[in-house]
Structure 1
Amino acid sequence: MAEPAARQPAAGARRARRGASIRLRILVAALSVVAVALSLGAVAVVWSLDRLLTASVGAQLTDELAALAEGVDAGTIQTAALVQRDDDVLVALRTATGVVVNADAAAQLPEPPALEPIEARLDDERFVVVAEQVDEGTIVVARSASAIDDAVRLATMLLLVAVPLAIVLVGTVVWIVVGRALDPVDRMRAEVDAIDATALDRRLPASGRGDEIDRLAATMNRMLGRVEAGARARRRFVADASHELRSPLASMRQFAELSRTHPQATAPGELADVVLAEGERMHGIVEALLLLARLDEHEAGQRRPVDLDDLALTEVQRVRALGRRIDGAALRSAPVVGDARLLGRALRNLVDNALRHARDGVALGSVVRDGRSMVWVDDDGSGVPEGERERVFERFVRLDESRARDAGGSGLGLAIVREVARAHAGDAWITTSPAGGARFVLELPVDADRT
């Protein structure tokens, strides 16, 4: 099953390469936004220009009309003098008897319902029209908007050229800038792609600028460091496990060969006893390895309310049933949330470790302090040197290598304790016990709902 899983990222990478690149997607997105913005801006500019020029012409006509109306009312301008000002201006006087000036052209002009200018079309030509009441009727003045239309048309043509040029310019700049921004990422990808299991010590260079690319390189270097540490740990783990399993297998093989070669040198049933003993030892090693493998995959079991003091009391009863001396007077309520089976296994490992090194007996205690539930196991043995207190939690580590295999452990018990603790967001550590030996402490977050 491992081989297909290993091939999935490669297939995903091939699919990613077939898709549009980030550079192209950014370019398309940028050009889309710029094109929409510039198009809307161009339409707004043309419309605003048309409205501005039309309002300007309307204001001019209003001033001219006011002067005409004042002159007509004052008698300084005769109605017969209301003639067409130029080719673009039409003037009409509407009375009860009809149009008296420029009747042929101006008769078709509408009369604005108010003093505000309006727009009208005459022979497919747009006019701005204003009107004002005088004593003799209504004076209507109109100016052709052809100059306005010409200006708007020119502006439209200029924008039709300028907008595409601006889009092309923006696209070119975006393409170059994004390409330069992504070049370091592409180089990093190539460098990471070249790192295999034989070159896990390689790291990505950093520019020192402290930007996003530098932070990405630092993150990937930390990831490579974790991968390298994990690979070293796995190699060491495999080597140690092989060594641990080789020893019981060698013992069984040697005794079997001795029994076959010199049957008179071995008692009946002795081979079976050796096989059973070494098989039990191998079973313990394999079970511990499987548990550590599950903990490495962050499988912390089912989380339920658990009392560490209850688990400790169970260990007190077990040890007393074995005929060993153990003190549980210091046990106090220590509620946590976690997997009772795993926590019980961790506590049993601590108690068994203490029993192997204790001269007279062991003591258990528990307490809640500063939001943490703690349970400890004390022994009156020789203790653990301060410089070795972290190393004993490593896998297959034994400080007393001279002790007999059947009396000692596999070197996995304390490693399981720490992994169980960390799987429950806690930790395990060592200090000196009041009896002069070692105190092993299992510390976990307290169950706040039960305190």
Structure 2
Amino acid sequence: MAASRRAGVRVRLTALAVLVVGLGLVAGGAVALTLVRDQLTGNAEAEARRQAGSYAPMISGGLTSALPPLVQVVTRDGTVLGAGSELAHTRLLALWPENGAVKGTSRLPDGEHYVVAGVSASVRDRPVAVYAAVSLEHADEGVEAATTALVIIVPILLIAVGGTAWLVVGRTLRPVEAIRERVTEITASQLDRRVPEPPTDDEVGRLARTMNEMLARLEEVHDRQRRFAADAAHELRSPLASLRTRLEVGLAHPSRTNWVRLAGDLHREAVRLGDLTDELIVLALADGVTEPVEQVDLDEVVLTEIDAVRTRGVVDVELTPFSAARLRGRAGELSRVVRNLLDNAEHHAAHRITVGLWSADGFAELVVADDGPGIPAPDRAKVFERFYRSQRARDRDTGGVGLGLAIVREVTERHGGAVWLADSADGACFHVRLPLAADPA
């Protein structure tokens, strides 16, 4: 089916080229034939006028000699006073040269077509018309020769145009066919393959480059999904194994098991599983965002999340500096960014969290800092990776699952912003920069 579609495009483009060129040649040929006929007929008319005009002064004293073969002298009442040897005594032209000259065509008894020109003259003060005829045989022969040439040349040109168009279209479609064949060979396990790119910078070349860019994006998404599945399976295996082991031990030794303590341990593991599941759902939905983009007051989002931290009363929260900032985004995702940063700061802070928000150069910048132990230098480049946790976080029972900061980075970048960990004298200092909403015109 693909081959038939390709041949169909090739045939249609070739037929279109032949049709357009054919119509142009026919129209051009018709114009050329008209010009040839007009030129040859005009030459014959000029010759007829010259003959009639050159003979008119010669008959003013009377018809004293024989007239040329194709010259005729006629009175106003239509009487033929004299005619050449090749003309019958029938008036050549019914028109009278009122304004000094007249022209027309006539068919003589010999069957040939003639052009006739007439001029005014007088014979012994008697007004007459002198007509001269010139054969159009040469004009007809010229037009016939031109027509014959066009009949021969036009089909040859059309064949040449059709063949050239067929070859050129085929050559143009060859890279497209190569792209199609390569795409049919690419499967989900071969997303590292690319379609061949022609060296030209035309539409086909841009199509190939665009498809390769699309394949690169698909490969990136596929790799991320594969890593996500592997990481999720790895992270889920540990708490599930812990739950099963503790239950099996308890069931194997029910009389020696402290069921209240076991229930508390299982509850903590269940909470960790719930938190991990929530984070995984957020990441799983990251590539299929359905929440609408709207105007969001980032300062209100920050204040709402800060109230939740203050309500828990674990640490103090200080605002400095803090100003309003409005941007276009998804309120739920931006709330998740602020919440994850505050949760991370609350988890590591000793006594205080400092939150700042300001606008400058078309961007809103959010800063969340804590007075905790900070993040070791080797870990700073990795804290935004999925499921990454520093050794200090792993050693604490309340350590997270390593997805909070990864979500912060992905949501921030999806909103056209950036997040980074700045140098700080003590604790950790996270910066989030997001583009402000454009002022309405």
Give 2:69's aligned residue: 84
Residues 280 and 160 (structure 1), Cα distance of their counterparts in 2 relative to 1, 3 Å cut: farther
**1:21 shift after superposition:** 4.0
**Preserved contact between residue 313 and residue 328 of structure 1 (Cα < 8 Å):** no
Matches within 5 A, 1:141-160: 141-160=132-151
Can you list the C-alpha shifts for 1:10-48, whole angstroms capped at 9, x where unaligned? xxxx56854644333321222222112112111111111
Residues 243 and 110 (structure 1), Cα distance of their counterparts in 2 relative to 1, 3 Å cut: farther
| RMSD after superposition | 3.0
Matched, 1:446 2:436: yes
Aligned equivalents of 2:49, 2:156: Cα separation in 1 = 41
**1:159 shift after superposition:** 0.7
**1:97 shift after superposition:** 5.4
Matched, 1:412 2:403: yes
Residues 364 and 450 (structure 1), Cα distance of their counterparts in 2 relative to 1, 3 Å cut: farther
**Preserved contact between residue 335 and residue 450 of structure 1 (Cα < 8 Å):** no
**Preserved contact between residue 395 and residue 412 of structure 1 (Cα < 8 Å):** yes
Residues 57 and 178 (structure 1), Cα distance of their counterparts in 2 relative to 1, 3 Å cut: same
Residues 96 and 148 (structure 1), Cα distance of their counterparts in 2 relative to 1, 3 Å cut: same
User: What residue identity is the alignment partner of 1:120?
Assistant: T
**1:306 shift after superposition:** 1.4
Give 2:354's aligned residue: 363
**1:406 shift after superposition:** 4.9
User: What residue identity is the alignment partner of 1:427?
Assistant: A
My pick for the range that moved more, 358-367 or 176-185, is: 176-185
**1:450 shift after superposition:** 7.5
Matched, 1:424 2:424: no
My pick for the range that moved more, 410-419 or 273-282, is: 273-282
**1:134 shift after superposition:** 1.3
User: What residue identity is the alignment partner of 1:449?
Assistant: D
**1:314 shift after superposition:** 1.5
Can you list the C-alpha shifts for 1:23-81, whole angstroms capped at 9, x where unaligned? 333212222221121121111111111112112222222222221223334x4x83763
SS where residue 345 of structure 1 aligns? helix
**Preserved contact between residue 300 and residue 420 of structure 1 (Cα < 8 Å):** no
Give 1:43's aligned residue: 30
Aligned equivalents of 1:35, 1:390: Cα separation in 2 = 69
Residues 250 and 30 (structure 1), Cα distance of their counterparts in 2 relative to 1, 3 Å cut: same
**TM superposition score normalised by structure 2:** 0.86
Can you list the C-alpha shifts for 1:294-336, whole angstroms capped at 9, x where unaligned? 3212x26222221111111122221111111111132111111
Match of 1:31 among 18, 27, 41: 18
Matched, 1:99 2:66: no
**Preserved contact between residue 61 and residue 143 of structure 1 (Cα < 8 Å):** yes
Match of 1:306 among 273, 280, 296: 296
Can you list the C-alpha shifts for 1:258-280, whole angstroms capped at 9, x where unaligned? 22212234334555544544333
Match of 2:192 among 197, 201, 204: 201
My pick for the range that moved more, 168-177 or 140-149, is: 140-149
SS where residue 140 of structure 1 aligns? strand
Match of 1:179 among 170, 181, 186: 170
**Preserved contact between residue 389 and residue 429 of structure 1 (Cα < 8 Å):** no
SS where residue 353 of structure 2 aligns? strand
**Preserved contact between residue 100 and residue 120 of structure 2 (Cα < 8 Å):** no
**1:398 shift after superposition:** 2.0
**Preserved contact between residue 316 and residue 328 of structure 1 (Cα < 8 Å):** no
Residues 373 and 404 (structure 1), Cα distance of their counterparts in 2 relative to 1, 3 Å cut: same
Give 2:336's aligned residue: 345
Match of 1:56 among 43, 66, 70: 43
Query: Structure 2: which 5+ residue stretches go unaligned?
Result: none
Give 2:310's aligned residue: 320
Match of 1:191 among 178, 182, 185: 182
Matched, 1:261 2:263: no
Aligned equivalents of 1:150, 1:41: Cα separation in 2 = 20
Q: Percent identity among equivalent residues?
A: 37
SS where residue 101 of structure 1 aligns? strand
SS where residue 120 of structure 1 aligns? strand
**Preserved contact between residue 109 and residue 122 of structure 1 (Cα < 8 Å):** no
Aligned equivalents of 1:180, 1:19: Cα separation in 2 = 12
Aligned equivalents of 1:43, 1:182: Cα separation in 2 = 36
SS where residue 192 of structure 2 aligns? coil
Residues 384 and 325 (structure 1), Cα distance of their counterparts in 2 relative to 1, 3 Å cut: same
Aligned equivalents of 1:262, 1:346: Cα separation in 2 = 45
Aligned equivalents of 1:155, 1:365: Cα separation in 2 = 90
**1:148 shift after superposition:** 1.2
Match of 1:132 among 88, 109, 119: 119
**1:82 shift after superposition:** 3.0
Residues 371 and 120 (structure 1), Cα distance of their counterparts in 2 relative to 1, 3 Å cut: same
Query: Structure 1: which 5+ residue stretches go unaligned?
Result: 1-13
**Preserved contact between residue 328 and residue 363 of structure 1 (Cα < 8 Å):** yes
Can you list the C-alpha shifts for 1:140-170, whole angstroms capped at 9, x where unaligned? 2232323212211221121112111101111
User: What residue identity is the alignment partner of 1:295?
Assistant: A
Aligned equivalents of 1:242, 1:129: Cα separation in 2 = 105
**TM superposition score normalised by structure 1:** 0.84
Aligned equivalents of 1:369, 1:40: Cα separation in 2 = 68
**Preserved contact between residue 92 and residue 106 of structure 1 (Cα < 8 Å):** no
User: What residue identity is the alignment partner of 1:36?
Assistant: L
Aligned equivalents of 2:105, 2:397: Cα separation in 1 = 111
Matched, 1:245 2:233: no
Give 1:226's aligned residue: 217
Aligned equivalents of 2:216, 2:294: Cα separation in 1 = 35
